[in-house]
Amino acid sequence: MEIILVWMTGALICGQIFRLLSLPILVGFIFSGYIFSVFDLNDTNSILSIPAEIGVELLLFSIGLKIKPSYFLNLDIISVFFIHIGVLTLILFLFLTYDVNILIFFMLCISLTLSSTVIASKVLDDRKELKTFHGRISIIILIFQDILALILLTSIEVDKFSSNFFLIFLFPFFIPILLYFLSNLRSNKELELIAAIIIALFFGAEFFKFTGLTGEIGALIMGICLSNYKHADKLSEKIWGLREILLLAFFISLGMELKIDSYVLKHALFLLSFLIFKTVILFFLLLAFKLRSYTAFLITISLSTYSEFSLIILSSWLDAGVINSEILTIVTCSVCLSFIIGSIINNYVHEIYVYFEKYLVVLERKTHHPDEEPHTCGEAQVMIFGMGRIGSSIFQNLQEKNIKVVGFDADTDLVKKYLKNGKRVAFADAEDPGFWSKLRFGKLKTIILSLPEFHSQNWSTKQARKYGFKGKIIVPTTTKGDPNILRNSGADEIYDAYDAAGIGVSEKLIK
């Protein structure tokens, strides 16, 4: 018990230090694990292995709850995936030199083309971008990569393909039963949450392990299969706190795996340099398939790490005796370093894009883009950015008063839903500088920024003022950011959404 408290306290201290340095807290957790290993406070009894495993599985399950199966019916994304894997594998095969069998070396190169599902999912979730256009494409590519990882994982251990594997075909029959079971527990939040966790870990992770696959992909696929559950989003949010605590074990244990000396560090940094090829190739492929530079850049940065699945694959190969421990040590160090660099870059991805925007937009194809954003508000007098519960309520109220209003949201599914109901709502990303620079405000008198993150509220306020909007900017906020910062950026009125709801109810009672 004492050692667990030491690990948690160390992670808390390192996390706070990194927060004060404006660096991702996640990197602080990894660093704390490395410090523990230096002072011989390693997890010799594998205490962290179970919570780390459960944390990753719950993360992927909650991510899966936000991904609809229909998202995978995209031939362009499949093409990007295969071309990217093929070109990068060839580059790695030509420039890396490891003393292993040529077939194993080829598969090792393939494993290094994979990106981290955990890191990408977490940074997208933290930025509230999982449901955005670029967020969903990132997750789809990651799932294809995870499937490839499973093939590599089972390629050496032929016994994985036992008769149990064919039980996977029973999996679809569980889904209607599980959906019915969850629906019946909806009236009790505690029971619903417990049931969801059991479904994720038992019917998802453990069932897939029993068939010879990995629990991670099982949890993810189970989440996707349950994504049509009416309350899937709320269920995902409930799991959030639990998975964050458990993921702490994953990042601490990952830091403990770092064995840094001059030889390992030199080779790890050399391997790390190939991330440049990985990101550049993916970026240009996404541009070639007609995405805008903004979308391509965000997807590329989300996938700019090596994968934790590479470590799982190489560990199984080490046990099978087909690689040596030196290779695993070098790759482990490279993966951890890529996590650190990837987390830092992702933390400032929008600011980085702004700096390079003028150079990147000229690379876009001169054609219609599937992520095209509107350049005008037409005859609208009010623009609402963010069509969640607060934004949609304001939209409805204004429409009832015959005020011309237009809505924007980065969630394409939400936009389609509103369009289907005859509402004037369009796809746009508030943090895309290209949207604001090209937008013609027309007769617009008011902008309402009903966005979930303080950063995006403040950014959008600055951009609207920068590009000449002279009307009123209203921010109904549920975040804990400083209202004075918003006012200094150009916001006219800032409302606490919960206070506003209370006032509205009070006024109705008085009437």
CB-based contact 88:414 (threshold 8 Å): no
> What is the C-alpha to C-alpha distance for residues 313 and 366, in angstroms, rounded to an integer?
42
pLDDT value, residue 158: 47
pLDDT mean over 357-367: 86
Low-confidence winner among 38-47, 290-299, 314-323 (lowest mean pLDDT): 314-323
Helical H segments across 69-188, by residue range: 75-95, 102-111, 117-126, 133-156, 171-184
> What is the C-alpha to C-alpha distance for residues 196 and 208, in angstroms, rounded to an integer?
17
pLDDT value, residue 508: 47
pLDDT value, residue 271: 92
Domain boundaries, the chain: 2-156+167-363, 382-510
pLDDT digits (tens, 9 = 90+) for 466-497: 888 888 998 887 666 778 888 888 888 887 76
pLDDT mean over 225-247: 78
The residue among 410 and 280 whose pLDDT is bigger is 280
Q: For residue 501, what pLDDT band results from cuts at 50, 70 and 90? A: low
DSSP per residue, 71-102? GG--HHHHHHHHHHHHHHHHHHHHH---SS-H
Percent of the chain surpassing pLDDT 70: 91
Q: For residue 25, what pLDDT band results from cuts at 50, 70 and 90? A: confident
Exposed e or buried b per residue across 462-480, where buried means at least 16 C-beta atoms within 10 angstroms of its C-beta:
bbbbeeebebebbbbbebe
The residue among 43 and 337 whose pLDDT is bigger is 337
197: three-class secondary structure by DSSP: helix
pLDDT mean over 251-270: 83
CATH no. for 382-510: 3.40.50.720
- Asked whether residue 288 carries a pLDDT value surpassing 80, the answer given is yes
CB-based contact 428:410 (threshold 8 Å): yes
pLDDT value, residue 486: 87
Q: Evaluate the CA torsion angle 289, 293, 295, 297 in order and state its sign.
A: positive
CB-based contact 288:365 (threshold 8 Å): yes
pLDDT value, residue 162: 54
pLDDT mean over 62-83: 79
The residue among 159 and 398 whose pLDDT is bigger is 398
- The CB-based long-range contact list for 233-238 (8 Å cut-off, 24+ gap) reads 233/65, 233/66, 235/62, 235/65, 235/182, 235/192, 235/193, 235/196, 236/62, 236/63, 236/65, 236/66, 238/189, 238/192, 238/193, 238/196
The residue among 248 and 319 whose pLDDT is bigger is 248
> What is the C-alpha to C-alpha distance for residues 130 and 233, in angstroms, rounded to an integer?
11
CATH no. for 2-156+167-363: 1.20.1530.20
pLDDT value, residue 506: 44
pLDDT digits (tens, 9 = 90+) for 81-128: 999 999 999 999 999 888 788 888 999 999 999 998 878 888 888 787
Q: Name residue 421's amino acid.
A: N
pLDDT value, residue 211: 77
pLDDT digits (tens, 9 = 90+) for 134-168: 888 898 898 888 778 767 766 665 454 456 666 77
Low-confidence winner among 311-315, 405-409, 458-462 (lowest mean pLDDT): 311-315
Name residue, tokens 């799991």.
239
